[in-house]
Copies of this chain bind each other. A is one copy, B any other.
Amino acid sequence: MAYESALRCLADPTRRRVFERLREGPRAVGELAAGLPVSRPAVSQHLKALKAAGLVLDRAEGARRVYFIDPEGLGELRRWLDRFWDQALDAFKHEAETHPPRRRPARGTPPPERKKP
């Protein structure tokens, strides 16, 4: 029940930029906000959401607060996606076998026959 919140978080462009920036290494809130077109409180709110989704962790460093990626939430999302991928691929193979996709016919290729049951 955590990959849902992870997806929700990563869907927002700004929040994703914050997260992708964190991929390089730990960053303080001010540093993150400096590279973004939004205010510092906005970044704080995004970080709060990311933390609630298990995507980041934070550590106090004096008056500053340093955030970094938590593999926990990311891993859960990854596992969900992997399981999804396997099932989806099986379903797609079966689809391709039973209903061959309409391809744009190459030059000189006659249009495919349609069987009439």
| A contact set with B: CB distance below 8 Å | 4, 7-8, 10-11, 13, 16, 20, 22-26, 57, 59, 68-71, 74-75, 77-78, 81-82, 84-85, 87-89, 91-92, 94-95, 99, 101-102
Contact = CB atoms under 8 A, between A and B. Distances in A.
Given A8-B11, A13-B4, A78 B71 contact: no
A44 to B, nearest CB: 20
Given A71-B89, A77-B81, A95 B13 contact: no
Contacts of A92: 68-71
B91 A23 contact: yes
Contacts of A20: 84
B71 A25 contact: no
Contacts of A94: 25
A75 to B, nearest CB: 8
Contact of A88 (B11, B23, B81, B91): B23
A115 to B, nearest CB: 14
